[in-house]
Amino acid sequence: MYGWKGKVLCVDLTEEKIAEKDLDPEIAKAYIGGRGLGIYYLTQWVDPKCDPLSPENILVMATGPLTGTGAPTGARYMVMCKSPLTGAITCSNSGGFFPTELKRSGFDAIIFTGRAEKPVYLSIDNGKAALHSAQDVWGKTTHETTNLIQDRMGSKTRVACIGPAGEKQVLFAAIMNDRDRAAGRSGVGAVMGSKNLKAVAVRGTTKIALADRQRFKSFNSKILNRFKEQNKKIPLGLTINGTAGVVVATQNYGVLPTKNWQQGTFDGWEQIHGEKLTESFLIKNKGCFSCPIKCGRVTRVQDTEFAGEGEGPEYETIYAMGSNCMIGNLAAITKANYLCNELGLDTITMGATVACAMELVDRGYLSEKEIGRPLAWGDGEALVELTRMTGYRKGFGGRLAEGSYRLADRYGHPELAPVSKKQEFPGYEPRGAQAMGLAYATSPIGGSHMRGDPAYFELFGVPEAMDPHQWEGKAKVTKAYQDLSAIIDSAGLCIFFAVRNLAAKDLGVAPVGILEYLNAATGADYTLEELMQAGERIINAERLFLVNAGFTRKDDNLPKRLTEEPAPTGPAKGLVCHLEEMLGEYYEAQNWTANGIPKKELLEKLGLL
């Protein structure tokens, strides 16, 4: 095979058996790779009603056919399983250098089944795979684990691992690779921990064969040259200030979630935005493999109680731990971010859960005695301490470890949790960005913007601007972005580059650039229609999993705070999110029933029946 390596590694942790499986070329073409392969194996191997933390759940790590090829931002892999946070699927995406090394080690994907009796880690060295005892690294942070395994296997080894949070099955534990890159959402780290799997360490030097190397090289040069020319005229903000630069836009639009989503503007925004991070803590910017953007931030905090060094924080971390908690202390936010990376925690859910706890205290539903310390809006010291406690499930951290929905429900007020399908939202307030609300509610993993991101057209005008306050007509565009995101995730690309540079304006968000890359790399001869249908197939396979797990239209929801309480501040003042009005139109666009179930004729067309 070209583009694909053509091999899948199957690791039975219960029996300690490792086997190679050929990747069926027809399945590869139909599901592309990455996220597509993940949902294919989930539907084949997992009972949607299983306990996510039981041995019956599987964990899939899958690269895409463009991962490691040199395509711009072709450095992604997906981690998929049934989520312990939501009960839905996961699509947890990460970059860095681990995904390319995994692909070059000889495999498109790894499927973990069962549960090891004692802690283990998997090593792969150019196709040779083995399980090893992880007793000596169990309990270590992600950084300590990475260092110890690299000492054994060599400094060029790439490591993906869990920290104490994954071991203790915090429901939003992350898998960290390359030290500070996160497959962060939905509790993939908890599933890895439930399997007694501490790490995956890979080394690979094999080349990725391309069907038409000259065609690939020529198109790659064309795209990169166009990107460089555009960047000369208007320097890319992601390169200058990283994703943290988004704070300016969300504040100006009135969609910067603040005070546990009570409002969309934060008076202290200037203390936490991208320029402040750059001037205060930035050492250098950093990119993933084959990335021309380099949005990563290597930072250092000195001379404060929050001293530390690492990567980040990203925009989502800054919203969740900053404005959402009313914290304007960037040093405290950055320190909490470092802790999340080292302990293996999703920063979005961590910050949102602390904000929820702050509101519970503010309203008198939760006592500070139960927490074991004072907790008030704006308390950066409390944020850092509670993050550490959560990673180790110590004291009140054990309750925070369940996420904001279970915390708020414990105290009788689940309406105070900013979630859909029990997963916390990213940092775009849907009262001022209507399609974001629809995307959150219908995302297959619960609250998420990366499984189809309407912020591109609502806030950033890609491919063209749409009024963020208007809800009419947003359903079809949201569906198109969700289909596109499935293709991007499955191809092994980063959305930051692909949406702006590889989707044609004259065809809406059609992935014409991705089509050219895929055909040059794989020789699969996709037509544009076949590629777009592949995205639709993946979305519907994910929806079927949710339906079979018991999800219905009532689970495509938002908190009443966003749909019934008008925004009190900013440009969105007086608005609510019109989710219910958009939902019916969305189901029609998807060709689903009024209850959100894919219709039989659609499933037959997509080969899902």
pLDDT tens digits, 43-90: 999 999 999 999 999 999 999 999 999 999 999 999 999 999 999 999
Please check the confidence at residue 462 and state whether its pLDDT lies above 90.
no
Are 547 and 433 members of one domain? Answer: yes
Does residue 445 lie within any of the structural domains?
yes
Q: Detail the DSSP E strand segments found in 146-287.
A: 158-161, 175-177, 181-183, 197-203, 282-286
d(CA 141, CA 161): 9
Does residue 227 lie within any of the structural domains?
no
Rounded to the nearest 10 degrees, what angle do helices 330-343 and 347-362 cross at? 120
Window from 123-132, 230-239, 421-430, 531-540 with minimum mean pLDDT: 230-239
Does residue 220 lie within any of the structural domains?
no
Q: What pLDDT, on the 0 to 100 scale, is given for residue 476? A: 94
Which positions ≥6 away from 88 have C-beta within 8 Å?
82, 186, 421, 444, 445, 446, 545, 546, 549, 551
Q: What pLDDT, on the 0 to 100 scale, is given for residue 506? A: 75
d(CA 171, CA 390): 10
Q: How far is CA 452 from CA 101, 104, 350, 429, 464, in A?
A: 27, 29, 22, 16, 16
- DSSP letter at 106 equals T
Structural domains in the chain (count) = 3
Are 143 and 273 members of one domain? Answer: no
| 495-504 pLDDT tens trace | 999 998 998 8
Q: What is the CATH number of the domain that holds 198?
A: 3.60.9.10
Beta bridge partner(s), residue 131 = 122
In 3D space, the residue among 347, 535, 566, 562 whose CA is nearest the CA of residue 440 turns out to be 562
The DSSP-derived string for 55-88 is: TTS-EEEEE-TTTTSS-TT---EEEE-B-TTTSS
The DSSP-derived string for 521-559 is: HH-----HHHHHHHHHHHHHHHHHHHHHHT--GGGS---
Are 86 and 164 members of one domain? Answer: yes
Q: How confident is the model at residue 432 (pLDDT cuts 50, 70, 90)?
A: very high
Boundary-marking domain end, from 419, 453, 480: 419
Does residue 210 lie within any of the structural domains?
no
Helix (H, G, I), strand (E, B) or coil at 185: coil
Q: What pLDDT, on the 0 to 100 scale, is given for residue 234? A: 74
The DSSP-derived string for 496-509 is: HHHHHHSSBGGGTT
Strands 158-161 and 109-113: unpaired
Are 401 and 457 members of one domain? Answer: no
Are 40 and 120 members of one domain? Answer: yes
d(CA 56, CA 82): 10
Q: How confident is the model at residue 236 (pLDDT cuts 50, 70, 90)?
A: confident
Compute φ and ψ for 122, nearest 5 degrees.
-105, 135
Mean pLDDT in residue range 170-174: 98
Q: What pLDDT, on the 0 to 100 scale, is given for residue 233? A: 76
Radius of gyration of the chain (CA): 22
Are 199 and 341 members of one domain? Answer: no
Buried b (16+ CB within 10 A) or exposed e, 283-312: eebbbbbbbbbebbbebebeeeebebebbb
Mean pLDDT in residue range 477-490: 96
Are 360 and 408 members of one domain? Answer: yes
Please check the confidence at residue 259 and state whether its pLDDT lies above 80.
yes
**To which H or E segment does residue 104 belong?**
helix 98-104
Q: What pLDDT, on the 0 to 100 scale, is given for residue 231? A: 84
| 332-383 pLDDT tens trace | 999 999 999 999 999 999 999 999 999 999 999 999 999 999 999 999 999 9
| 92-141 pLDDT tens trace | 999 999 999 999 999 999 999 999 999 999 999 999 999 999 999 999 99
d(CA 24, CA 35): 16
Q: What pLDDT, on the 0 to 100 scale, is given for residue 408? A: 98
d(CA 314, CA 295): 9
Mean pLDDT in residue range 434-461: 94
Q: What pLDDT, on the 0 to 100 scale, is given for residue 505? A: 77
Does residue 216 lie within any of the structural domains?
no
Contact indicator for 97, 103 with CB cutoff of 8 Å: no
Does residue 405 lie within any of the structural domains?
yes
CB atoms within 10 A of CB 525: 10
In 3D space, the residue among 27, 19, 107, 125 whose CA is nearest the CA of residue 67 turns out to be 107
Are 442 and 411 members of one domain? Answer: no
Q: What pLDDT, on the 0 to 100 scale, is given for residue 417? A: 98
Q: How far is CA 501 from CA 214, 238, 258, 488, in A?
A: 21, 14, 32, 12
Q: What pLDDT, on the 0 to 100 scale, is given for residue 273? A: 95
Q: What pLDDT, on the 0 to 100 scale, is given for residue 407? A: 98
Are 460 and 411 members of one domain? Answer: no
| 382-431 pLDDT tens trace | 999 999 999 999 999 999 999 999 999 999 999 999 999 999 999 999 99
Mean pLDDT in residue range 432-461: 94
Mean pLDDT in residue range 294-306: 95
Boundary-marking domain end, from 389, 419, 449: 419
Are 504 and 588 members of one domain? Answer: yes
In 3D space, the residue among 199, 201, 99 whose CA is nearest the CA of residue 141 turns out to be 199
Are 94 and 243 members of one domain? Answer: no
Are 87 and 30 members of one domain? Answer: yes
Please check the confidence at residue 509 and state whether its pLDDT lies above 90.
no
Q: How confident is the model at residue 465 (pLDDT cuts 50, 70, 90)?
A: confident
- DSSP letter at 286 equals E
d(CA 55, CA 44): 16
Does residue 593 lie within any of the structural domains?
yes
Higher pLDDT, 231 or 432: 432
Boundary-marking domain end, from 392, 419, 446: 419
Please check the confidence at residue 239 and state whether its pLDDT lies above 90.
yes
d(CA 499, CA 374): 44
Q: What is the CATH number of the domain that holds 252?
A: 1.10.569.10
Helix, strand, coil abundance in the chain, percent, nearest 5: 45, 15, 40
d(CA 530, CA 36): 14
CB atoms within 10 A of CB 229: 9
Does residue 212 lie within any of the structural domains?
no
Q: In terms of residue numbers, what domain contains 108?
A: 7-203
Q: What is the CATH number of the domain that holds 437?
A: 1.10.599.10
Q: How confident is the model at residue 235 (pLDDT cuts 50, 70, 90)?
A: confident
Could you tell me the pTM of the whole model?
Answer: 0.98
